[in-house]
Amino acid sequence: MTTIAYVFPGQGSQAVGMGRDLATSSPAAAATFAAADAALGEAIASLAWDGPADVLDRTENAQPALLAASIAILAALRERWTDAGRRAPTPAFAAGHSMGQYSALVATGVLSLEDGVFLVRRRGELMQASGAGRDGAMAAIIGLDDARLPELVAGAAEHGVFVVANRNSPGQVVVSGERSAIEAGAEIARTLGARRAIILPVSVAAHSPLMAEAADGMRETLATITFRDPTATLLANADARRITTADGAKAELIEHLTAGVDWVAAVESMVAGGVTTFVEIGPGKVLTGLIKRIAPDAEIIPADDPASADRLLELAEPA
Protein backbone atom coordinates (compact mmCIF):
# COMPACT_ATOMS: atom_id res chain seq x y z
CA MET A 1 0.00 0.00 0.00
CA THR A 2 1.26 3.48 -0.93
CA THR A 3 1.10 6.11 1.79
CA ILE A 4 1.77 9.61 0.49
CA ALA A 5 3.21 12.81 1.93
CA TYR A 6 3.18 16.19 0.21
CA VAL A 7 6.29 18.29 0.84
CA PHE A 8 6.78 21.94 -0.10
CA PRO A 9 10.13 23.73 -0.64
CA GLY A 10 11.15 27.01 0.91
CA GLN A 11 12.97 30.11 -0.23
CA GLY A 12 15.90 29.27 -2.46
CA SER A 13 13.86 27.08 -4.81
CA GLN A 14 12.53 30.09 -6.73
CA ALA A 15 13.76 30.65 -10.28
CA VAL A 16 12.78 33.02 -13.06
CA GLY A 17 10.31 31.26 -15.34
CA MET A 18 8.75 29.07 -12.65
CA GLY A 19 5.18 28.17 -13.48
CA ARG A 20 5.04 30.06 -16.79
CA ASP A 21 4.59 27.02 -19.06
CA LEU A 22 2.22 25.44 -16.57
CA ALA A 23 -0.02 28.52 -16.53
CA THR A 24 -0.22 28.33 -20.32
CA SER A 25 -1.32 24.69 -20.34
CA SER A 26 -3.40 24.51 -17.15
CA PRO A 27 -6.41 26.77 -16.47
CA ALA A 28 -6.19 25.85 -12.77
CA ALA A 29 -2.57 26.99 -12.56
CA ALA A 30 -3.34 30.21 -14.43
CA ALA A 31 -6.22 30.90 -12.03
CA THR A 32 -3.90 30.37 -9.06
CA PHE A 33 -1.44 32.96 -10.30
CA ALA A 34 -4.27 35.37 -11.12
CA ALA A 35 -5.66 35.00 -7.59
CA ALA A 36 -2.21 35.66 -6.10
CA ASP A 37 -1.85 38.79 -8.22
CA ALA A 38 -5.27 40.04 -7.11
CA ALA A 39 -4.54 39.36 -3.44
CA LEU A 40 -1.28 41.33 -3.54
CA GLY A 41 -2.50 44.03 -5.91
CA GLU A 42 0.52 43.50 -8.16
CA ALA A 43 1.75 41.15 -10.86
CA ILE A 44 3.70 38.62 -8.79
CA ALA A 45 3.14 36.15 -11.66
CA SER A 46 5.02 38.37 -14.10
CA LEU A 47 7.90 38.62 -11.65
CA ALA A 48 7.99 34.83 -11.26
CA TRP A 49 7.87 34.29 -15.01
CA ASP A 50 10.05 37.11 -16.32
CA GLY A 51 12.17 38.38 -13.41
CA PRO A 52 14.53 40.11 -13.12
CA ALA A 53 16.20 37.56 -10.87
CA ASP A 54 17.63 40.09 -8.41
CA VAL A 55 14.14 41.47 -7.74
CA LEU A 56 12.54 38.02 -7.54
CA ASP A 57 15.19 36.90 -5.05
CA ARG A 58 14.31 39.59 -2.52
CA THR A 59 12.74 37.88 0.48
CA GLU A 60 9.50 39.85 0.31
CA ASN A 61 9.06 38.84 -3.37
CA ALA A 62 10.53 35.35 -3.42
CA GLN A 63 8.20 34.03 -0.75
CA PRO A 64 4.80 34.96 -2.29
CA ALA A 65 6.04 34.05 -5.77
CA LEU A 66 7.21 30.66 -4.56
CA LEU A 67 3.96 30.00 -2.70
CA ALA A 68 1.93 30.91 -5.80
CA ALA A 69 4.07 28.66 -8.00
CA SER A 70 3.83 25.73 -5.56
CA ILE A 71 0.05 25.96 -5.25
CA ALA A 72 -0.24 26.38 -9.03
CA ILE A 73 1.64 23.08 -9.45
CA LEU A 74 -0.73 21.42 -6.98
CA ALA A 75 -3.79 22.93 -8.69
CA ALA A 76 -2.62 21.68 -12.08
CA LEU A 77 -2.00 18.23 -10.64
CA ARG A 78 -5.47 18.07 -9.12
CA GLU A 79 -6.93 19.30 -12.41
CA ARG A 80 -5.15 16.54 -14.32
CA TRP A 81 -6.44 13.89 -11.92
CA THR A 82 -9.99 15.19 -12.32
CA ASP A 83 -9.73 15.33 -16.11
CA ALA A 84 -8.57 11.70 -16.06
CA GLY A 85 -11.67 10.75 -14.10
CA ARG A 86 -9.72 9.99 -10.94
CA ARG A 87 -9.80 11.26 -7.36
CA ALA A 88 -6.83 13.07 -5.84
CA PRO A 89 -5.03 10.91 -3.29
CA THR A 90 -5.34 11.94 0.34
CA PRO A 91 -1.88 12.53 1.81
CA ALA A 92 -1.18 11.21 5.29
CA PHE A 93 1.13 14.16 5.98
CA ALA A 94 2.00 17.58 4.58
CA ALA A 95 5.17 19.41 5.52
CA GLY A 96 6.94 22.52 4.32
CA HIS A 97 10.58 23.48 4.65
CA SER A 98 10.69 26.89 6.35
CA MET A 99 8.52 29.24 4.24
CA GLY A 100 7.17 26.09 2.56
CA GLN A 101 5.03 25.64 5.67
CA TYR A 102 2.74 28.33 4.31
CA SER A 103 2.34 26.37 1.07
CA ALA A 104 1.53 23.28 3.13
CA LEU A 105 -1.10 25.22 5.08
CA VAL A 106 -2.76 26.47 1.90
CA ALA A 107 -2.65 22.97 0.39
CA THR A 108 -4.37 21.46 3.44
CA GLY A 109 -7.05 24.14 3.69
CA VAL A 110 -5.72 25.86 6.82
CA LEU A 111 -5.27 29.13 4.93
CA SER A 112 -6.80 30.49 1.76
CA LEU A 113 -4.42 31.19 -1.12
CA GLU A 114 -5.12 34.90 -0.73
CA ASP A 115 -4.25 34.89 2.97
CA GLY A 116 -1.20 32.74 2.27
CA VAL A 117 0.42 35.13 -0.19
CA PHE A 118 -0.46 38.10 1.99
CA LEU A 119 1.16 36.45 5.01
CA VAL A 120 4.38 35.43 3.30
CA ARG A 121 4.74 38.94 1.86
CA ARG A 122 4.33 40.30 5.38
CA ARG A 123 6.71 37.64 6.74
CA GLY A 124 9.38 38.67 4.25
CA GLU A 125 9.02 42.35 5.15
CA LEU A 126 9.24 41.61 8.87
CA MET A 127 12.25 39.35 8.43
CA GLN A 128 14.06 42.03 6.46
CA ALA A 129 13.41 44.59 9.21
CA SER A 130 14.05 42.29 12.18
CA GLY A 131 17.37 42.50 13.94
CA ALA A 132 18.03 46.04 12.70
CA GLY A 133 21.42 47.21 13.86
CA ARG A 134 22.73 43.64 14.21
CA ASP A 135 24.52 42.31 11.15
CA GLY A 136 22.88 38.96 10.45
CA ALA A 137 24.29 36.20 8.28
CA MET A 138 23.90 32.51 7.44
CA ALA A 139 26.27 29.78 6.27
CA ALA A 140 25.96 26.29 4.84
CA ILE A 141 28.11 23.66 6.53
CA ILE A 142 28.61 20.56 4.39
CA GLY A 143 30.26 17.29 5.31
CA LEU A 144 30.51 17.84 9.05
CA ASP A 145 29.73 14.83 11.25
CA ASP A 146 26.50 15.61 13.10
CA ALA A 147 28.19 14.51 16.33
CA ARG A 148 30.52 17.53 16.07
CA LEU A 149 27.66 20.07 15.92
CA PRO A 150 27.67 20.76 19.70
CA GLU A 151 31.38 21.68 19.48
CA LEU A 152 30.70 23.95 16.52
CA VAL A 153 27.85 25.75 18.28
CA ALA A 154 29.78 26.14 21.54
CA GLY A 155 32.83 27.58 19.81
CA ALA A 156 31.05 29.94 17.45
CA ALA A 157 28.64 31.20 20.12
CA GLU A 158 31.60 32.79 21.90
CA HIS A 159 31.60 35.33 19.06
CA GLY A 160 27.90 36.20 19.12
CA VAL A 161 24.48 34.73 18.39
CA PHE A 162 24.94 31.40 16.57
CA VAL A 163 22.38 28.62 16.07
CA VAL A 164 21.69 25.72 13.74
CA ALA A 165 18.92 27.10 11.52
CA ASN A 166 18.35 24.10 9.24
CA ARG A 167 19.27 20.45 9.66
CA ASN A 168 18.64 19.54 6.04
CA SER A 169 20.13 16.06 5.75
CA PRO A 170 22.90 14.04 7.41
CA GLY A 171 26.06 16.09 7.15
CA GLN A 172 24.35 19.21 5.80
CA VAL A 173 23.25 22.07 8.04
CA VAL A 174 22.71 25.80 7.73
CA VAL A 175 23.74 28.04 10.63
CA SER A 176 22.39 31.49 11.40
CA GLY A 177 23.17 34.42 13.66
CA GLU A 178 25.39 37.47 13.95
CA ARG A 179 27.91 37.80 11.15
CA SER A 180 30.93 37.76 13.46
CA ALA A 181 29.80 34.42 14.91
CA ILE A 182 28.91 32.98 11.50
CA GLU A 183 32.31 33.85 10.06
CA ALA A 184 34.05 32.36 13.10
CA GLY A 185 31.80 29.31 12.89
CA ALA A 186 32.74 28.71 9.27
CA GLU A 187 36.41 28.56 10.25
CA ILE A 188 35.69 26.31 13.23
CA ALA A 189 33.64 23.97 11.06
CA ARG A 190 36.57 23.48 8.72
CA THR A 191 38.86 22.58 11.60
CA LEU A 192 36.25 20.06 12.81
CA GLY A 193 36.28 18.30 9.45
CA ALA A 194 33.62 20.00 7.32
CA ARG A 195 34.26 19.66 3.60
CA ARG A 196 32.84 23.09 2.89
CA ALA A 197 31.63 26.09 4.89
CA ILE A 198 29.98 28.69 2.69
CA ILE A 199 28.76 32.11 3.80
CA LEU A 200 25.39 32.54 2.05
CA PRO A 201 24.44 35.70 0.12
CA VAL A 202 21.61 36.70 2.48
CA SER A 203 21.14 39.71 4.72
CA VAL A 204 18.84 38.16 7.35
CA ALA A 205 19.57 35.61 10.06
CA ALA A 206 16.53 33.40 9.49
CA HIS A 207 15.46 30.89 12.16
CA SER A 208 17.51 32.58 14.85
CA PRO A 209 16.88 34.79 17.90
CA LEU A 210 17.54 37.81 15.65
CA MET A 211 14.06 37.20 14.21
CA ALA A 212 12.31 37.93 17.54
CA GLU A 213 10.87 41.22 16.27
CA ALA A 214 9.55 39.47 13.18
CA ALA A 215 7.89 36.83 15.35
CA ASP A 216 6.16 39.55 17.37
CA GLY A 217 4.97 41.22 14.20
CA MET A 218 3.65 37.96 12.78
CA ARG A 219 1.79 37.23 16.00
CA GLU A 220 -0.14 40.50 15.56
CA THR A 221 -0.79 39.87 11.87
CA LEU A 222 -1.92 36.26 12.34
CA ALA A 223 -4.50 37.38 14.89
CA THR A 224 -6.42 38.96 12.01
CA ILE A 225 -6.45 35.82 9.80
CA THR A 226 -8.92 32.93 9.77
CA PHE A 227 -7.30 29.52 10.32
CA ARG A 228 -9.00 26.14 9.80
CA ASP A 229 -8.07 22.63 10.90
CA PRO A 230 -5.80 20.90 8.34
CA THR A 231 -7.08 18.13 6.07
CA ALA A 232 -3.80 16.23 6.56
CA THR A 233 -1.45 16.01 9.53
CA LEU A 234 1.19 18.76 9.48
CA LEU A 235 4.63 18.59 11.08
CA ALA A 236 6.30 21.41 13.01
CA ASN A 237 9.61 22.64 11.62
CA ALA A 238 11.44 22.73 14.94
CA ASP A 239 10.72 19.27 16.34
CA ALA A 240 8.46 17.42 13.87
CA ARG A 241 5.57 17.29 16.33
CA ARG A 242 2.21 16.63 14.72
CA ILE A 243 -0.12 19.55 14.07
CA THR A 244 -3.80 18.74 13.61
CA THR A 245 -5.62 21.94 14.65
CA ALA A 246 -5.98 25.51 13.45
CA ASP A 247 -4.49 26.85 16.70
CA GLY A 248 -1.50 24.53 16.36
CA ALA A 249 -0.88 25.73 12.81
CA LYS A 250 -1.02 29.37 13.88
CA ALA A 251 1.45 28.79 16.71
CA GLU A 252 3.82 27.06 14.29
CA LEU A 253 4.03 30.11 12.03
CA ILE A 254 5.18 32.24 14.95
CA GLU A 255 7.60 29.73 16.46
CA HIS A 256 9.43 28.77 13.31
CA LEU A 257 10.74 32.29 12.71
CA THR A 258 13.09 32.01 15.69
CA ALA A 259 13.44 28.20 15.92
CA GLY A 260 15.37 25.96 13.54
CA VAL A 261 14.10 23.64 10.82
CA ASP A 262 14.84 19.98 11.53
CA TRP A 263 14.01 18.52 8.13
CA VAL A 264 15.73 15.25 9.01
CA ALA A 265 13.37 14.72 11.94
CA ALA A 266 10.34 15.64 9.83
CA VAL A 267 11.18 13.12 7.10
CA GLU A 268 12.05 10.41 9.61
CA SER A 269 8.75 11.05 11.42
CA MET A 270 6.79 10.68 8.20
CA VAL A 271 8.58 7.45 7.31
CA ALA A 272 7.90 6.13 10.82
CA GLY A 273 4.25 7.08 10.24
CA GLY A 274 4.10 4.78 7.22
CA VAL A 275 4.94 7.13 4.34
CA THR A 276 6.39 5.30 1.36
CA THR A 277 6.09 8.04 -1.28
CA PHE A 278 6.97 11.73 -1.05
CA VAL A 279 5.64 14.18 -3.65
CA GLU A 280 7.64 17.42 -3.81
CA ILE A 281 5.21 20.15 -4.81
CA GLY A 282 7.08 23.26 -5.86
CA PRO A 283 9.66 24.46 -8.36
CA GLY A 284 12.77 22.32 -8.68
CA LYS A 285 14.01 19.29 -6.80
CA VAL A 286 15.72 20.61 -3.66
CA LEU A 287 13.68 18.52 -1.24
CA THR A 288 13.88 15.48 -3.51
CA GLY A 289 17.66 15.54 -3.12
CA LEU A 290 17.51 15.98 0.65
CA ILE A 291 14.95 13.22 1.18
CA LYS A 292 17.02 10.77 -0.89
CA ARG A 293 19.81 11.21 1.66
CA ILE A 294 17.53 10.93 4.69
CA ALA A 295 15.28 8.07 3.52
CA PRO A 296 17.02 6.29 0.62
CA ASP A 297 14.38 3.55 0.46
CA ALA A 298 11.48 5.97 -0.04
CA GLU A 299 10.04 6.94 -3.41
CA ILE A 300 10.40 10.67 -4.10
CA ILE A 301 8.48 12.27 -6.98
CA PRO A 302 9.21 15.89 -7.99
CA ALA A 303 5.87 17.18 -9.32
CA ASP A 304 7.60 19.94 -11.30
CA ASP A 305 9.40 17.37 -13.47
CA PRO A 306 7.51 16.41 -16.68
CA ALA A 307 9.06 12.94 -16.37
CA SER A 308 6.95 12.41 -13.23
CA ALA A 309 3.61 12.83 -15.02
CA ASP A 310 2.77 9.15 -15.53
CA ARG A 311 3.72 8.14 -12.00
CA LEU A 312 1.71 11.00 -10.51
CA LEU A 313 -1.35 9.89 -12.46
CA GLU A 314 -0.93 6.39 -11.04
CA LEU A 315 -1.13 7.77 -7.51
CA ALA A 316 -4.69 9.01 -8.02
CA GLU A 317 -7.57 6.84 -6.90
CA PRO A 318 -10.28 5.50 -9.21
CA ALA A 319 -13.35 7.74 -9.24
Burial class (CB in 10 A: 0-12, 13-18, 19+), 120: buried
CATH number at residue 188: 3.30.70.250
Residue 173 lies in a domain: yes
pLDDT in tens, 23-45: 999 999 999 999 999 999 999 99
Write down the pLDDT at residue 1.
61
Q: Are residues 59 and 34 in the same domain?
A: yes
Residue 204 lies in a domain: no
14: containing domain: 4-130+209-318
The stretch 69-74 carries a mean pLDDT of 98
Write down the pLDDT at residue 201.
81
Q: Are residues 96 and 123 in the same domain?
A: yes
3-state SS of the chain is: CCCEEEEECCCCCCCCCCCHHHHHHCHHHHHHHHHHHHHHCCCHHHHHHHCCHHHHCCHHHHHHHHHHHHHHHHHHHHHHHHHCCEECCCCCEEEECCCHHHHHHHHCCCCCHHHHHHHHHHHHHHHHHCCCCCCEEEEEEECCCHHHHHHHHHHHHHHCCEEEEEEEECCEEEEEEEHHHHHHHHHHHHHCCCCEEEECCCCCCCCCHHHHHHHHHHHHHHCCCCCCCCCCEEECCCCCCEECCHHHHHHHHHHCCCCCEEHHHHHHHHHHCCCCEEEECCCCCHHHHHHHHHCCCCEEEECCCHHHHHHHHHHCEEC
CATH number at residue 12: 3.40.366.10
d(CA 268, CA 294) in angstroms, rounded, equals: 7
pLDDT in tens, 103-154: 999 999 999 999 999 999 999 899 988 877 788 999 999 999 999 999 999 9
Q: Are residues 280 and 313 in the same domain?
A: yes
Write down the pLDDT at residue 298.
97
**Would you name the residues annotated as active-site residues?**
98, 207
Residue 215 lies in a domain: yes
Residue 277 lies in a domain: yes
Residue 25 lies in a domain: yes
Alpha carbons within 13 angstroms on the beta-carbon side of residue 195 total 7
Q: Are residues 244 and 294 in the same domain?
A: yes
Picking from 181, 199, 217, the residue at the C-terminal end of a domain is: 199
Q: Are residues 61 and 157 in the same domain?
A: no
Picking from 199, 231, 247, the residue at the C-terminal end of a domain is: 199
Q: Are residues 79 and 53 in the same domain?
A: yes
Q: Does this model's pTM top 0.75?
A: yes
Q: Are residues 115 and 178 in the same domain?
A: no
Q: Are residues 118 and 160 in the same domain?
A: no
Tally of domains in the chain:
2
Q: Are residues 46 and 186 in the same domain?
A: no
Q: Are residues 114 and 251 in the same domain?
A: yes
Q: Are residues 77 and 182 in the same domain?
A: no
Picking from 158, 179, 199, the residue at the C-terminal end of a domain is: 199
pLDDT band for position 2 (50/70/90)? Answer: confident
